[in-house]
């Protein structure tokens, strides 16, 4: 009897869990509400993608000089990036969002400046053959989207800078020496040898960071942004079906992260990350 139980209990557990989930799902779930919420959740998901896309690309650009400065080994060059990275890695993203979105308006000087309010651009662009009348607004930090993008960029840049530092450190010393022996300057060897090599070493960690930012973007809902989580909360405020709608939102996140993982796998294959890991 005990011997049979020893073999059977994992299956019992497995089917028990599946049964419990099926029972819970079929009991009294309002699938019609889930179905009806899909278009608006998709709208929110697009805003989430926009947020994440802009901030991980801008964060990478900002992180490059920071990471290189940290990898230089020079105490004076690395000190300021170190303080920056320490602050942004040591505090929650939620605090950073609130500091920028709610905190900055404490100072009158900030509240009246163009950084906060944004500026209206009104010029004519004349290229000789045709002239365009330009009239558009550059939004300031008062706009929750801009504020979220700026904060997430600053946040992720700190993490990416550490990834870049680690990747640069992991480039085999012999290859750097070979570059210098060929007469390349520091800048040349950085551009042609070290950075291309470090990009391949750091890519898996960078893809991790992108997935983490996808999930961190849910926090943008706390500064009134209608991304996936914010949209879910709005729908729930109307129909009170929190389980169903959060479940649907969770599925959207799972789907997006699955697609991102596959995309990075393709990118790794295209850059031949595995083949170049040889030591």
Partner 1 sequence: MTFDLNGFGGVLLAGMLMTIALALSSLALGLVLGLAGALAKTSSSLPLRWIGSSYSTIVRGVPELIWVLLIYLGTSSLLLQIGQLIGRPNLAISAFAAGTLALGLCFGAYATEVFRGALLAVPRGHREAGLALGMSSPRIFWRLILPQMWRMALPGLGNLFMILMKDTALVSVIGLTEIMRQAQIAVSFTKQPFTFYLAAAGLYLVLTMVSMAVMHQLEKRAGRGFTRAAR
Q: Which residues bind partner 1 (CB under 8 A)?
A: 10-11, 13-15, 17, 24, 86-87, 89-96, 98-99, 102-107, 214-219, 221-222, 229, 232-233, 236, 242-243, 246-247, 249-250, 253-254, 257-258
For the CB of residue 47, give the shortest distance to partner 1 in the complex, in Å.
Answer: 14
For the CB of residue 267, give the shortest distance to partner 1 in the complex, in Å.
Answer: 19
For the CB of residue 257, give the shortest distance to partner 1 in the complex, in Å.
Answer: 5
46: Cβ–Cβ under 8 A, 6 or more apart, which residues? none
Give whichever of 138 and 263 is closer to partner 1, judged by the CB atom: 263
Give whichever of 72 and 233 is closer to partner 1, judged by the CB atom: 233
Give whichever of 153 and 221 is closer to partner 1, judged by the CB atom: 221
Four-point Cα dihedral 151, 152, 155, 156, nearest 10:
-160
For the CB of residue 2, give the shortest distance to partner 1 in the complex, in Å.
Answer: 14
For the CB of residue 266, give the shortest distance to partner 1 in the complex, in Å.
Answer: 19
For the CB of residue 232, give the shortest distance to partner 1 in the complex, in Å.
Answer: 8
Closest residue by Cα to residue 119 from 149, 139, 145? 139
Give whichever of 131 and 239 is closer to partner 1, judged by the CB atom: 239
Closest residue by Cα to residue 52 from 81, 93, 91? 93
For the CB of residue 110, give the shortest distance to partner 1 in the complex, in Å.
Answer: 9
Give whichever of 184 and 212 is closer to partner 1, judged by the CB atom: 212
Give whichever of 134 and 251 is closer to partner 1, judged by the CB atom: 251
Please say whether the beta carbons of 154 and 96 come within 8 A: yes
Give whichever of 64 and 211 is closer to partner 1, judged by the CB atom: 211
Q: Measure the CA–CA gap between 153 and 51, rounded to whole angstroms.
A: 9
């Amino acid at each position: 009897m005990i011997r049979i139980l020893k073999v059977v209990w994992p299956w019992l557990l497995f089917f028990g869990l599946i049964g419990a989930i099926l029972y819970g799902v079929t009991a009294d779930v309002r699938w019609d509400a889930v179905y009806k919420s899909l278009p608006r959740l998709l709208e929110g998901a697009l805003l989430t993608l926009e947020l994440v896309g802009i901030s991980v690309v801008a964060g990478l650009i900002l992180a490059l000089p920071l990471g290189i400065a940290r990898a230089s080994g020079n105490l004076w060059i690395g000190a300021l990036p170190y303080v920056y990275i320490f602050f942004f890695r040591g505090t929650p993203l939620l605090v950073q969002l609130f500091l920028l979105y709610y905190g900055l308006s404490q100072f009158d000087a900030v509240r009246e400046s163009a950084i906060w309010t944004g500026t209206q651009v009104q010029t004519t662009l004349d290229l000789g053959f045709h002239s365009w009348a330009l009239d558009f607004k550059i939004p300031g930090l008062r706009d929750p989207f801009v504020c979220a993008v700026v904060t997430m960029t600053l946040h992720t840049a700190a993490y990416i800078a550490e990834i870049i530092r680690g990747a640069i450190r992991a480039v085999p010393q012999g290859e750097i020496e070979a570059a210098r022996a060929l007469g390349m300057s520091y800048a040349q060897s950085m551009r042609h040898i070290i950075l291309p090599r470090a990009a391949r070493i750091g890519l898996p960690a960078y893809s991790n960071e992108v997935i983490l930012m996808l999930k961190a973007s849910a926090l943008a809902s706390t500064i009134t942004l209608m991304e996936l989580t914010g949209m879910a909360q709005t729908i729930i405020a109307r129909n009170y079906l929190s389980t169903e709608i959060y479940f649907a939102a969770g599925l959207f996140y799972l789907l997006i992260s699955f697609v991102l993982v596959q995309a990075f796998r393709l990118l790794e294959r295209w850059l031949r990350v595995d083949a170049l890991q040889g030591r």
